Each structure stands twice: as structure tokens, then as C-alpha cells.
Chains A and B, each alone.
Chain A
Amino acid sequence: EDQVSTIREGVASIYERDEEWTQAAQMLSGIDLDTGMRVVDDRYKLEKCIHIAMLYLQDDDAVNAETFIKKASFLVNSCKEEALELQYKVCYARILDAKRKFQEAALRYYELSQWEKTNTVANRVDEGDLQQALTAAVTCTILAGAGPQRSRMLATLYKDERCAALPVYPILQKVYLERILRQAEVAAFAQDLKPHQQALTADGSTVLARAVIEHNLLSASKLYTNITFLELGALLGIAPDKAERIAARMVAQDRMKGSIDQVEGIIQFETETEEIKQWDHQIAAVCFAVNGILDNMQKKGM
């Protein structure tokens, strides 16, 4: 067994040098980690599983990678080596990302972006990696389905002062403030996406397009009391019947409040705030307007 492992590791390193990632992973996965023929410690097993998973991920093969990360998850708590724990977490986040579980992936990327704060100096990752993890967290959050969970993550990211320095900050700000995203901004954001994030979904649109449409729909529901699907389709840049279908799905999943009148082809958005609370906001605006006038008069010496 030992000789076989040594040879496999040698051949795998050659594949790796030639960037034949999947071959290298298959070569290593041939090593029998659960053999009774020799003593293999948990740390060695963990290191091998993580290494194989990372190789598969290089070729965006999340399925095989997940198989080995699942094996690693049984081992990661037993050996307290922070470098391996870090690699494990990176792998796990990338697998969730590759499987388009963007909400969870964003959480894990964000956790990774705070790595240096919670661990000893020995494993201090460099600033670039942290920034990369943070950018990945923002990207995955934007790609995640609109709704309360995503709003919470957006708030966390928006309030994290490190995000202001990221290239994706402008779109993060617009998404957090629930403003409507223009086509040009979306195209610019799409350029930095990974291949699997650009993949087509069942209904032929990309993950990003769906996320943007849902986001804009949610923003529209904050802007308008009601709107016809004709207008809504024009606003979102899609056919009216598609706009109706997406709106219906979001209302059914309780991610947006509203009611659809199919005969009239119109959607009534329900606003959360009660009229009486709205009234208080208006009163505050009137009072501040009075304040403004008095300040202005004082300035003019009246």
C-alpha cells in the first residue's frame, strides 16, 4: 500500500504540474485511505481528501469534489490543524457556490473573509485572499434568490466597511438599497462571474438574469402601489407574461407581498407600513421643512 501511495502521489504531482486536474484527482483517489493493511492517521486522510476535492474543483467538478469534502467533514474536527481547516472551508464554500447554493456559499465566503481575525498568526492569510473571499461573498449574495435571508446578508456586507473598497461595491449598494439595476451595470458585473455562475437555468435564462429580474421586481414593489404587467415587463426588460409568472412565484413563496388581477393584467403591491406610520413619516417631513425654512430665514437675517 505504501509503495502504491507513493507512486500515485508522484504521478499525481506530474499531472498537477501539467494542469491535468481531474487526472491528478483520479490518481490520488485511487489511494485506499480506509485500508486495514497499514496505519493511516486522520491528518493524512484529511489532507488527501481536501487535496482531491481542490483538484476536482479546479475543473469545476463540484459533484466529485463534494464526495471527498463529505469524507473530510468527518475528519476535520478531529485534527486541529488550522491550515487544513482553512483549506476545508475554502473547498466547502466553492462547492456550495458551484452547486449554486449561493445563499450558504455567501455565508461561508464571508466567514472566510474574516479568517485572520479569529485565528493565530501562523495561518494569517494575505489581504488579497481575504478580499477575494469578500468579493465572492458579495457575488453569491447578489446571485442568491431575493428574500429576507438575502436581505440580512446584504445588510451585513453593506455595513462591513471593507466592502467599500471592492470593485463590486456600487452594485452591492444598489442591491442593498433596493434600487432598480440597469442593464449596463448588470453586464459589467457579469464579466467577473465564474463559468458556472453564467450557466443557463431550466427556463433558458442565466442565474444572474433571474436574480436581477427578481431584485428589480422587489424594488418596483417598493416604488409602485400597483403596475400593469405590460409596464412591468418594459421596466424589467422581459415579456409581460414572464413578468407575471415571476411575480406570481415570488408572491407564492412569500418573498414579495401583493395580489395579481389576471383579468386586468395588473399587480397590486401591498406595502408593509400602515397608513398611520406613513402619516408619521409625512409629519416628520413637514416639521423638517418648517425647520429648513426657519434656518433659511435666520441665515437671511429675517
Chain B
Amino acid sequence: ADKIFRYDEAQASQTQAQKPWTKDPHFFKKVRISALALLKMAVHARSGGTIEIMGIMQGKTDGDTMIVMDAFALPVEGTETRVNAQADAYEYMVEYAQANKQVGRLENVVGWYHSHPGYGCWLSGIDVSTQMLNQQYQEPFLAVVIDPTRTVSAGKVEIGAFRTYPQGYKPPDEPASEYQTIPLNKIEDFGVHCKQYYPLDITYFKSSLDSHLLDLLWNKYWVNTLSSSPLLGNRDYVAGQISDLAEKLEHAETQLAHSNRLGGGFLMMTAKKKEEESQLSKVAKDSSKITVEQVHGLMSQVIKDVLFNKK
């Protein structure tokens, strides 16, 4: 299991020389992330609270798989407000990469990660531009997005890994990826660019030492599970979700009212009708998703009440 941690310089330079990714825009299909990198990225994303944070990932490639070995934070915040935010931290990145080489960490920079607190893992317009830029000059390069807020309510790390297509490339029809709620104020940004990139399958790996340490932590992990309340931890996020839901409902309602005024069902094109229904079905899906999470939270509260509060 620890073989993956050894860096093969010859293979890396050979791959770099062949540049297989230039022949197939869809070349990279999988990502393997080390437990260490995942933890560091998740903790960093969480520390940013509601502000987007940014960092760099180190690793290598192996055939059509990108391997993320480690990650480090960049002194950059609020990445959704400027293209190529990492320009603020170039100096830091260069120094960090050089210092790494000096201590024998040979992996190169293999991508960047940033957070979308509370609005899901996808690439915004700014992210697509940043990733395209990086894929032009720093290949192989991966974009990872983490949603620390949804991580808490979902009970697992909300993470996505993406690669952009070259400008003007028409991708074949994508299989629908796992459904996720996009807030109304971000839907525009999401919709316009969602065809310019594709998600990679993410798997994780850990070293024997990681396994040992995680087992030790696991002994204490059950305490965290029992002494935390998802209902409390995520109140602001849930309130935001419900208000977003209300907006979407009103939105859908006005659209329906509007189309009814235009002479109701028989005049409306079936496609348009379908589109309207899919809007509503998405809203219904969002509301059941939020509620299920709330009910899970309530169930754990009730179990704790029975367990610890009975006289």
C-alpha cells in the first residue's frame, strides 16, 4: 500500500515528455487523494468559515489517474472575486515548492483547491478561467472544490475534482453526475459554464501509518459523534437553504402563472412544459434533501436524549 508514496522521477519526466493529455481532452479520468491531503484541505476549507480559501496540491500522475499526495494553503482568500487569485501568492508558491525540493519532497504542483462554502462543488466562471489558464501553462493540473458547510450536514467531505476542456471544444453528452442543490444566486454562473469542464472519479488512499493513526483516532471519534448536534452546527446554512428554496418556489410559481396566462397547457410546447416541471421537481428534491438531513439530526438528538437524560 505504501508503494504509491515513492516518487518515480524517470516515469514522471517520461510522462511529461509524452504529454498524453494534449491528444485527448478527456485523458485524465480518475483522481486518487491521500488521506493526509484530504484532511488538510478539509480543515483549511473549514477554517475559512464563509470565506472562500485557496491552496495548492502536490502529487503526480499515473496513466489516466492524477494522484494528490499533499496539499498546502495559500495566503489567499475570497477566490470567487478575482480570476487567477493565486497570482497574489506566486512568490509564496515558488518558495514553498523550492523548499520542498530541498527537503526531498520531489512531487510537483499538480493542481489547486478552493472552497465553495454552502453552495456545492462545481466550477464557477472564474474557476473555469483560472483552470483553463493553468491547464495551458502548468499541465498536468487539476481543480478541486470543497464545500466545508455541506460537509458538516452531509457527514462526509463534500468534494469535487474537475478538468476543463480546451476553448471551443464540444464535449460528448455527459452522464448526469450526482444531483446537488445550486443556490438561486449561483444558478446562472453554474449553468453557463457547466459544459466547459468534467468531473473525475475520486478515490482515497492512506499509508500504513495513516491507518494506524486513524484507528487510534477512531477510538475517540465515537465521542465526537455522540457529543455533536448537526442541528446546531449548521443553523445558518439550513436557514440559507430554506430561504433559497422559498425563492426558487416563488420563481417557479411566477413562471407557471406566467405560462398559464399565455393560454395554459395545450398552447405550451411540451419541451417548455417539461422544463418547467423539471424546475419544480428540482425544488421538491432540494426540499426533501434538506428535510432528510434535519430529520437525521433530530433522530440523533432523540437517541441522545433517551441515552443520556433518562433518570
Contacts from A to B (Cβ < 8 Å) = 274, 276-277, 279-284, 286-288, 291
Q: List 28 A-B contacts (CB under 8 A).
A: A274-B232, A276-B229, A276-B232, A277-B229, A277-B232, A279-B304, A279-B308, A280-B227, A280-B228, A280-B229, A280-B232, A281-B227, A282-B308, A283-B226, A283-B227, A283-B304, A283-B308, A284-B223, A284-B224, A284-B226, A284-B227, A286-B308, A287-B222, A287-B226, A287-B227, A288-B223, A291-B219, A291-B223
Write the nearest CB–CB distance from A271 to chain B, whole angstroms.
Answer: 15
How many A-B residue pairs have C-beta atoms within 8 angstroms? Tell me: 30
List the 6 shortest-distance A-B pairs measured between CB atoms, nearest first.
A284-B227, A287-B223, A283-B227, A280-B227, A283-B308, A283-B226
The distance in angstroms between the C-alpha atoms of A279 and B305, with both chains bound, is 10
Say whether B220 faces chain A, with CB atoms less than 8 Å apart. Answer: yes
Question: For residue A282, which residues in chain B have a CB less than 8 angstroms away from its CB?
Answer: 308
CA distance A284 to B222 in the complex (A): 10
Nearest Cβ in chain A — how far from B237, in angstroms?
A: 17
Docked Cα-Cα span, A282 to B223, in Å, equals 11
The smallest C-beta distance from A285 to any residue of chain B, in angstroms, reads: 8
Q: CA of A281 to CA of B232 in the docked complex: distance in angstroms? A: 13
CB-CB under 8 A from B232, the residues of chain A are 274, 276-277, 280
Residues of B within 8 A of A (CB): 219-220, 222-224, 226-229, 232, 304, 308
Contacts of A288 in B (CB 8 A): 223
Q: Report chain A residues within 8 Å CB of B228.
A: 280
Distance from B303 Cβ to chain A, minimum over Cβ atoms (Å)? 11
Known contacts A287-B227, A291-B219; can you find 4 more A-B pairs with CB under 8 A?
A: A279-B304, A280-B227, A283-B227, A283-B304
Q: Give Cα A277–Cα B229 distance, bound, in whole angstroms.
A: 8
CA distance A287 to B308 in the complex (A): 10
Report B310 CB to chain A, min CB distance, Å. 13
In the assembled complex, how far is the CB of residue B298 from the closest CB belonging to chain A, in whole angstroms?
12
Q: Which residues of B have CB within 8 Å of A280?
A: 227-229, 232
Minimum CB–CB distance from B84 to chain A (whole Å) comes to 27
Name A290's closest neighbour in chain B (CB-CB).
B223
Per the bound structure, the CA–CA distance linking A279 and B223 in Å amounts to 13
A291 B220 Cβ-Cβ under 8 A:
yes
Residues of chain A lying within 8 A (CB to CB) of residue B227: 280-281, 283-284, 287
Complexed CA–CA distance, A186 and B226 (Å) = 43
Residue of A nearest to B304 (CB): A283
Task: Give chain B residues whose Cβ lies under 8 Å from the Cβ of A286.
Answer: 308
- Residues in chain B near residue A287, CB distance under 8 A: 222-223, 226-227
Residues on the B chain within 8 Å of A279, using CB: 304, 308
**Minimal Cβ-Cβ distance residue in A for B228:** A280
- Pick from A274, A279, A291 the residue with the most CB of B within 10 Å: A279
Q: How far is the CA of A44 from the CA of B224 in the complex (A)?
A: 64
Bound state CA distance, A236 and B219, in angstroms? 44
Whole-angstrom distance between the Cβ of A155 and the nearest chain B Cβ: 16
**In the bound complex, how far is the Cα of B232 from the Cα of A284, in angstroms?**
16
Q: Which residues of A contact B226 (CB under 8 A)?
A: 283-284, 287
Give Cα A279–Cα B227 distance, bound, in whole angstroms.
Answer: 8
Q: How far is the CB of B91 from chain A (nearest CB, A)?
A: 16
- Compute how far the CA of A277 lies from the CA of B308 in the bound complex, rounded to whole angstroms: 14
